Amino acid sequence: MPPYLLLRIAAAEEHYDVAAEAARRSLVRDEPMRELRAEGIGTTLAPHEHPGLVADRGGRTVEAPAPGVAIREPAPDRRISDAEGVESLPGRLVRAEGAPATGDASTDEAYDGLGEVFALFARAYGRDAIDGRGAPLDATVHFGDRYDNAFWDGERMVFGDGDGEVFRGFTQSLSVIGHELAHGITELTARLRYRDQSGALNEHVSDVFGALVEQYAMGQDAAAATWLIGEGVFTPLVEGRALRSMLDPGSAYDDDVLGRDPQPGHYRDYVRTDLDNGGVHLNSGIPNRAFALAAVDLGGFAWEHVGHVWYDTLTDGVLGPDDGFAVFSAATLAAARSRFGIASREAAAVAAGWRAVGIDPE
């Protein structure tokens, strides 16, 4: 959840008294997490070993060379806990892998959403869970009192229920679930520091895979996809479709109280600010649009072409924690040429996408 949006809600007490108080509490609760990310303190997730499986440098699960060892088919290991309205983790375990639906919407949406994230990374990219080695997928629902956010804390997904005036429960958006889990993968691979351009890229990568999880689950090609992040999290009281639009940054919402989506979609409009760790949620709109334009240009299923390029870039060990847009764009073009060929349509589309937002990957 972008802090600039929570700040607008916190100041809108005459319109949303419940939401304003909830936003203020959420801002206070989120600040330590943002500082930890900015300082580069990453996940504490421990490697989860399985006989017969090893992970290569990209986290891809591959067969170990030892003969006679049965290879486990990657499968999710989900555990959903209930914080029961308090800010305490992990909460009470309410659904484990293979257990039937509980009837609680948040619990069952989180369970299903984690499964969809696992399916994309396992089937499209050969990655067995977040660490590439089958680590459990843990989540906590009903966190806090009307908590207006969802986050990855280094070990688990955590979902608030929203305030009921501006935001609904965050388990309702598959792109939000995919976005937050992708933060865990970034922490274990490129470790992009959560500040300035590297932080905007961190947010961008999460938006990319949040969108791809949703598209994969719905069988949508690039043309049919909405390219929205957080679609459905607003209540009907808000004039808005989602938190962000990858294809058209700045158009996700335009509300009399909350204002207009401030994301830029071109590098000439890059926002320089000390807020939001240097504008990480704002400036992610620039690479977001480059990715979406490349995907639409190529057509078909985005996870099969541009998604592969971005996954390769994230996991191939070419990025440093403080790398910005110039290095990242060049790395994606190199990855496209490596996977698909120097003169390929894929490489041309990636280059054109970056140039359309004012960044030359050459």
pLDDT digits (tens, 9 = 90+) for 145-199: 999 899 998 889 999 999 999 999 899 999 999 999 999 999 999 999 999 999 9
281: annotated active-site residue: yes
Predicted pLDDT at 1: 67
Mean pLDDT over 75-85 rounds to 96
Residue 138: which of 177, 194, 193 has the closest Cα? Answer: 177
Predicted pLDDT at 199: 97
3-state helix, strand, coil in the chain (%, to 5): 45, 10, 45
Mean pLDDT over 232-259 rounds to 95
Cα torsion angle, 192, 215, 258, 168, sign: negative
Q: Which of 142, 179, 204, 281 is catalytic?
A: 281
By DSSP bridging, strand 137-141 and strand 78-82 are parallel
Cα torsion angle, 273, 292, 312, 52, sign: positive
Amino acid at 211: A
Which of the four pLDDT bands, split at 50, 70 and 90, describes residue 200?
Answer: very high
Q: Is it true that domain 3-356 has CATH number 1.10.390.10?
A: yes
Q: Which of 180, 187, 214, 346 is catalytic?
A: 180
pLDDT exceeding 90 applies to what percent of the chain?
Answer: 76
pTM higher than 0.95: no
pLDDT digits (tens, 9 = 90+) for 19-53: 778 878 777 766 665 555 555 544 444 433 333 33
Quick one: angle between helices 3-10 and 276-283, nearest 10? Answer: 100
